[in-house]
Amino acid sequence: MRALLAILLATTALPALAETIVATSRITAVTVYPDGARLTRQIGFTAPTAGSHELLVADLPASSQPGMMQLAPGTGLGLGAFTLRADRLPPRDEPLTPDQQAARAEVERLEAERVKAALALDAVRARVDAAEAQARFLSSFTGALPDDATPETIRAMAAMIGAETLAARQAALAASADLFPAEKALEKADEALARARAAFDALPSADRDYTALLVALTAAEAGEHTITVTQYVSDASWRPFYELNLSRRGGDRLTIDRAVLVSQRTGEDWTGVALTLSSARPSEQAAPSTLWPELRRIVPEPADQDLARKSGQAADAIMPEAVAEAAPAPITAGAAMEGDTVVHVYPQPVTVASGAENLRLPLDRLTFVPVVRAVAVPRHDSTAFVVASVTNPSGEPLLPGEAMLFREGVLVGSTWLDTIAPGAETDLPFGAIETLRLSRRMPMASEGQTGVFTTANERTESAVISVENTGTEAWTVRLLDQVPYSEQTDLQLTVKADPSPDETDVDGQRGILAWTFDLAPGRKQTVTLEHRLSWPRGMVLR
């Protein structure tokens, strides 16, 4: 019976036991969002046999989450369950990238060179010490003369001591001459080694705090296989950065150099990855808000004596609600884009170190033909400012971001660039024009008050506004000033201006006036402005 069982076991095909395959992953592509990123990893491994196996990938960052991970098998693979394990991990060698391996080899080579230089210096110092010791011994010789010494033997002994002493001191001098080059060689070896170590430390490194990915899989056949892992992480971001350069030489022209600032703190470096920048915001609100039924009710009107007692409570209850209703809805860049997604695919592989400073990557250059003018606000400023009006002719919005402002290649300031939708117009500032001098004088009134005359029910204010061009360049000037406005029929407002303004209630702002004129070099434009407010007696102006 036992013999028959042995024959059956030997001739019956049994299922192969699952074997654990250890593999590593490599980040090949990254899509960065304004808040977060999507990583694409490639895992290559060799299945020793067809059938079921367990794949162990022990180089994922410790912050990895299984719920934010997707696995896609290559041809000939079937995937089962997978999990992440952060403890009882198998030991692994210190992860080094190819660049780190080359830098480590250079450090080791220079360490050997440093040892050789140190040994050479020690050898020179030994020669100096030996020669100086020999010279000291010969100079201190006090041995007694032999009994049969003759003048000839004494002279021979003295000559020998002198010659040996001279030879020893010459050897010491020769060795000392080699001492300085040997010291310099060691110093250079130390400097080269320090630079190599710094270069090694500066290279992006693989993550040392890691977690393991365990995947159950079935291979159709033995051989090379791949698995693609898509992983979403939060500690990454990008934002636009602009350089705006306005030039008026040979015609008004505005160039916008677009760049991006990319940063990440995922715990591992992205080395030589294909980088895509997306304006999508998957981490923000994806569904519309919910409206809840609002119950209103009426109650008996309180008596007069209750109003005084409850006035404080009523004010506390009503004021927050009134303020909330009056506050404008917050404006965000995402809402201004109305769901449009801008994607930039960077044309070259990129390395982004974890925890390092923002990596700045250039994108492209846009050219515009702006409308340039000088905007003057004499009520607050002493000079006019350059403003360029541009229309976005591209089919994509310009995303919000920091912008450096240049005029004729000279830095004049910085600003925040809001979203500019396709076809939308915006005004961009480009610094002060020191040659356009502004003044706003209020001449003396009869009562001695500067530009203001007030009675019990009337107030008059006058001003003389001037813009003077002291430079050599002609400018189109847009002059802005203001007068009060009234919404009460009993408060009468009369405005006199010479010349009359070209525009009133600028941009829907009541009481804001604008004049537009060309100002040649050496010329001056003056505007007189007066307004009078009158109201019934017994009323007070506020």
Question: What average pLDDT does the segment 512-536 reach?
Answer: 92
Count of structural domains within the chain: 3
The DSSP call for residue 331 is P
Distances (CA, A) of 445 to 39, 85, 308, 451, 452: 73, 85, 48, 6, 6
| Beta-carbon contacts of residue 376 (< 8 Å; ≥ 6 apart) | 384, 385, 436, 438, 467, 477, 478, 479, 480
Q: Between 320 and 483, whose confidence is greater?
A: 483
Q: Would you say residue 14 has pLDDT above 50?
A: no
| Nearest-angstrom CA–CA distance, 159 and 272 | 76
List, for residues 331-350, the tens digit of each pLDDT value: 222 223 334 577 888 888 88
Of the candidates 68, 83, 79, 72, the one whose C-alpha atom is nearest the C-alpha of residue 38 is 68
Confidence bin at 306 (pLDDT 50/70/90): low
What pLDDT does residue 247 have?
Answer: 92
Looking at the structure, do residues 345 and 229 belong to the same domain, yes or no?
Answer: yes
Q: Which of 179-183, 279-283, 305-309, 528-532 has the lowest mean pLDDT?
A: 305-309
Looking at the structure, do residues 54 and 195 belong to the same domain, yes or no?
Answer: no
Looking at the structure, do residues 54 and 138 belong to the same domain, yes or no?
Answer: no
The secondary structure of 50-103 as a DSSP string is SEEEEEEEEEEETT--GGGEEEEE-TTEEEEEEEEE-SSPPP-PPP--HHHHHH
Q: Which of 98-102, 274-278, 463-467, 484-488 has the lowest mean pLDDT?
A: 98-102
Looking at the structure, do residues 44 and 176 belong to the same domain, yes or no?
Answer: no
Of the candidates 57, 78, 77, the one whose C-alpha atom is nearest the C-alpha of residue 69 is 57
What pLDDT does residue 2 have?
Answer: 44
Looking at the structure, do residues 213 and 198 belong to the same domain, yes or no?
Answer: no
Handedness of CA 271, 31, 285, 415 (dihedral sign): positive
Looking at the structure, do residues 229 and 344 belong to the same domain, yes or no?
Answer: yes
248 in a domain, yes or no? Answer: no
Among 290, 322, 354, where does a domain finish? Answer: 354
Q: Between 235 and 406, whose confidence is greater?
A: 406
| Nearest-angstrom CA–CA distance, 57 and 23 | 5
Top-ranked range on mean pLDDT: pick from 94-103, 414-423, 446-455: 414-423
| Nearest-angstrom CA–CA distance, 333 and 341 | 12
239 in a domain, yes or no? Answer: no
Distances (CA, A) of 325 to 311, 316, 320, 331: 21, 15, 9, 16
List, for residues 356-412, the tens digit of each pLDDT value: 778 888 888 888 899 999 999 999 999 999 999 999 877 778 888 899 999 999 999
If DSSP codes are grouped into helix, strand and coil, which group holds residue 218? strand
Confidence bin at 307 (pLDDT 50/70/90): very low
| Nearest-angstrom CA–CA distance, 454 and 476 | 37
Q: 534: part of which helix (H) or strand (E)?
A: strand 524-534
The residue written with tokens 């990596």 in the block is 359
CA 378 to chain centre: 38
Q: Would you say residue 518 has pLDDT above 80?
A: yes
Within 10 angstroms of residue 436's Cβ, the number of other Cβ atoms is: 24
- Is-contact 431 406, C-beta < 8 A? no
490 in a domain, yes or no? Answer: yes
458 in a domain, yes or no? Answer: yes
List, for residues 241-267, the tens digit of each pLDDT value: 999 999 988 889 999 998 889 998 888
Looking at the structure, do residues 177 and 219 belong to the same domain, yes or no?
Answer: no
Q: Phi and psi (nearest 5°) for 326?
A: -80, -25
Looking at the structure, do residues 74 and 139 belong to the same domain, yes or no?
Answer: no
What pLDDT does residue 320 have?
Answer: 35
315 in a domain, yes or no? Answer: no
| Nearest-angstrom CA–CA distance, 488 and 476 | 37
422 in a domain, yes or no? Answer: no
Among 329, 354, 379, where does a domain finish? Answer: 354
Range of the domain at 223: 14-97+207-234+271-282+337-354
| Nearest-angstrom CA–CA distance, 445 and 63 | 74
The secondary structure of 426-465 as a DSSP string is EEEEEEEEEEEEEEEE--B-TTS-BSEEE-SSEEEEEEEE
501 in a domain, yes or no? Answer: yes
Looking at the structure, do residues 121 and 217 belong to the same domain, yes or no?
Answer: no
Q: Would you say residue 324 has pLDDT above 80?
A: no
Domain at 487, CATH number: 2.60.40
Top-ranked range on mean pLDDT: pick from 17-21, 121-125, 200-204: 121-125
What pLDDT does residue 209 have?
Answer: 64
CA angle 116, 121, 125 (to 5 degrees): 145
4 in a domain, yes or no? Answer: no
Q: Would you say residue 95 has pLDDT above 50?
A: yes
What pLDDT does residue 145 have?
Answer: 62
The secondary structure of 363-412 as a DSSP string is EEEEEE--EEEEEE-TTT-SEEEEEEEEE--SSSPBPPEEEEEEETTEEE
Distances (CA, A) of 517 to 15, 248, 251, 375, 524: 92, 19, 20, 11, 11
Looking at the structure, do residues 140 and 169 belong to the same domain, yes or no?
Answer: yes
- Is-contact 377 383, C-beta < 8 A? no
Q: Would you say residue 524 has pLDDT above 90?
A: yes
Among 306, 322, 354, where does a domain finish? Answer: 354
Q: Which of 309-318, 436-445, 528-537 has the lowest mean pLDDT?
A: 309-318
Looking at the structure, do residues 475 and 350 belong to the same domain, yes or no?
Answer: no
Q: Would you say residue 532 has pLDDT above 80?
A: yes
Looking at the structure, do residues 211 and 198 belong to the same domain, yes or no?
Answer: no
